[in-house]
Amino acid sequence: MNFSKLIPAELSARTQPPPPPPSPELSDEDGIDEIPDILPPDELIVFENPEKRPKQRAGPDEFMPYRDARVMLSAMPGSGKRSMILNIVFRIWPRPRAIHVVHSDPDTIEYNELHKLSNERRAVPVNVYSPADFPDLDAIANPVNGPPLRRKRIHDVTDGAAGDEDEPEFDPDIGPSVVIIDECPKSLLGKTGAERMERLINQGATHLDTIVLCSLQSMVNVPLDARRGFNHFALWKHADKFVNKWAADKIGISGDTLADLFEFCESKYDCIWIDAESPDWRFRRNFIEQITFVPKV
């Protein structure tokens, strides 16, 4: 970023910022780039968040969501939501740090295929929870039988003393953590489960290198505070047109636009994927096929 611009001379002294306090001596090890004494008046500086991993897709393919994606899959029973989740997880590379499955039936065998992700190099742990036992952020960062999200101490640059917070130290050979939430409506989550889900969606995914895949028959059943944090939506055509229109409104497109997109689906197992992060891949069929589509105005 160019910091060579100076504040125009015609600005009055009253509008000039006060002189900054003396800056501490910083080394490269502190991970902080040099900041000018006076910030440019017409330019914003991007301050990187040390807790967040740089944006990276969860696999080598261009259609893969980012490692911190929050994906909502909504469809009637028998549409293929679980198969879609497995297709995503098996394309994640490097293999996930750990997989956490929150299921309405904690004794389910629906996700037994996930154990095939383990190999001679490293076993990928699969931990299953009930909605009432929704994992907290510490359980995501330090999975049972899995490698913890290694952390390093942040130093207080003002006096060199150790701070109270840690920041992640990301291992390039380990993939993101994966949290699968399958048919866990508000009624089963309870107060604690709903709060933990909200923290996972709105903080844990981006701060703990975690991709979230939430499967439900209707988006209405997702706690409101959590629902607002999703940025990918996989929608299957619902028999109830009101449900389709409601879903379209909640993700920022018109009901007519969604109806037109559903025309690209050739079978009941096809879905429309809407990506709020990647403009070139905004509309897709089954998350892997790009749709070039101009929505109705």
Of 261, 232, 231, 229, which Cα lies nearest the Cα of 245?
261
pLDDT of residue 58: 93
pLDDT at 148: 87
Q: What are the C-alpha distances in Å from 150 to residues 93, 97, 179, 279?
A: 19, 11, 19, 33
pLDDT at 124: 93
pTM: 0.80
Any domain includes 10: no
Q: What is residue 55's predicted lDDT score, i.e. its pLDDT?
A: 87
Q: Give SS3 for 275.
A: strand
What pLDDT, on a 0 to 100 scale, did the predictor assign at position 4?
A: 42
294: closest CA among 268, 252, 261, 266? 261
Establish if 55 belongs to a structural domain.
Answer: no
Q: Which residue has the higher pLDDT, 279 or 168?
A: 279
More confident position, 195 or 23:
195
CA angle 145, 149, 155 (to 5 degrees): 145
State residue 160's pLDDT score.
Answer: 46
Checking if the pLDDT of 74 tops 50, the result is yes
In total, how many domains does the chain have?
1
Query: Is residue 220 one of the residues assigned to a domain?
Result: yes
In whole angstroms, give the CA distance from residue 123 to residue 113.
Answer: 13
Tell me, what's the pLDDT at 296?
64
Q: Which pLDDT band, with edges at 50, 70 and 90, does 159 fall under?
A: very low
Among 59-63, 218-222, 272-276, whose mean pLDDT is lowest?
Answer: 218-222
Task: Residue 184: give the domain boundaries.
Answer: 70-290
pLDDT the model gives residue 147: 87
**pLDDT (mean) for 113-135:** 89
> Residue 127 domain-assigned?
yes
Per-residue burial over 210-240, b = 16 or more CB atoms within 10 Å of its CB, e = otherwise = bbbbbbbbebebbbeebbebbbbbbbbbbee
Position 154 confidence tier, pLDDT thresholds 50, 70, 90:
very low
Mean pLDDT value of segment 162-188 = 80
Lowest-pLDDT choice from 66-75, 193-202, 242-251: 242-251
Spatial distance between the Cα atoms of 249 and 255, rounded to a whole number of angstroms:
7
Residue 145 has pLDDT above 70, yes or no: yes
Q: What is the pLDDT at residue 44?
A: 83
Pairing of strands 177-182, 99-103: parallel
**pLDDT tens digits, residue range 188-235?**
999 999 999 999 999 999 999 999 999 999 888 898 899 999 999 999
Distance CA 237, CA 33 (A): 49
Q: Which two tokens stand for residue 230?
A: 């999703």
Q: What is the pLDDT of residue 152?
A: 52
Instruction: Write the burial class of residue 255 (CB in 10 Å: 0-12 exposed, 13-18 middle, 19+ buried).
Output: middle
In a domain, 185, yes or no: yes
Q: What is the pLDDT of residue 297?
A: 53
Residue 281 lies in a domain: yes
23, part of any domain? no
User: What does the alpha-carbon distance between residue 206 and residue 211 come to, in Å, rounded to a whole number?
Assistant: 8
Pairing status of strand 283-285 against strand 289-290? antiparallel
Give domain status of residue 141, yes or no.
yes
CATH of the domain at 159: 3.40.50
**Greatest CA separation for the chain:** 72
